[in-house]
């Protein structure tokens, strides 16, 4: 394996993708549990799943993905601020927009599929935003 490929595979991006997949599964699972199983509205389900995922994600991203130093409360606040912004503002906006759009254009689609599809798109957009922000927050000295 050449050196450039080794650096790519051993860098923060592959670790971020692995961690991100786990955090996405947690976020999506909690969202669907709240939405489909407990009947919570999409915005509330997204809020609950995001808050729980933020705390878990911070520890994994700091220690495993970016291998940052001391956590510190201010670093957590920066991380949480970014994650809550993308998770609660950006993702909730996308979930609400796509839920309304899909419900109108595909009325026969079951509600849980509409909510799930909207959440998947929202999570993808959020993941892109988060990677670049996390890299800055968790690697600065």
Report the predicted TM-score, pTM, of the whole model to 2 decimal places. 0.74
Rg, the chain, Cα only: 17
pLDDT, tens digit, 9 for 90 and up, residues 29-59: 999 999 999 999 999 999 999 889 988 988 8
pLDDT, tens digit, 9 for 90 and up, residues 5-24: 555 556 778 888 899 899 99
Q: From the centroid of its chain, how far is CA 98? A: 17
Write the DSSP assignment of 79-134 as a string of letters.
Answer: HHHHHHIIIIIIHHHHHHHHHHHHHHH-TTS-HHHHHHHHHHHHHHHHHHHHHHHH
pLDDT, tens digit, 9 for 90 and up, residues 60-110: 888 888 776 666 788 788 888 888 888 889 999 999 999 999 999 999 999
pLDDT, tens digit, 9 for 90 and up, residues 118-128: 999 999 998 88
């Amino acid at each position: 394996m050449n050196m450039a490929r080794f650096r790519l595979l051993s860098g923060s991006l592959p670790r971020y993708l692995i961690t991100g997949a786990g955090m996405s599964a947690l976020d999506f699972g909690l969202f669907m549990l709240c939405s489909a199983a407990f009947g919570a509205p999409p915005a509330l389900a997204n809020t609950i799943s995001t808050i729980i995922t933020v705390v878990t994600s911070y520890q994994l991203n700091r220690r495993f993905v970016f291998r940052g130093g001391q956590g510190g409360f201010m670093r957590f606040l920066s991380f949480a601020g970014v994650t809550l912004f993308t998770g609660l503002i950006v993702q909730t906006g996308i979930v609400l927009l796509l839920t309304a759009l899909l419900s109108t254009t595909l009325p026969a689609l079951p509600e849980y599929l509409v909510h799930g599809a909207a959440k998947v798109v929202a999570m993808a957009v959020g993941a892109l935003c988060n990677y670049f922000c996390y890299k800055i927050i968790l690697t600065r000295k």
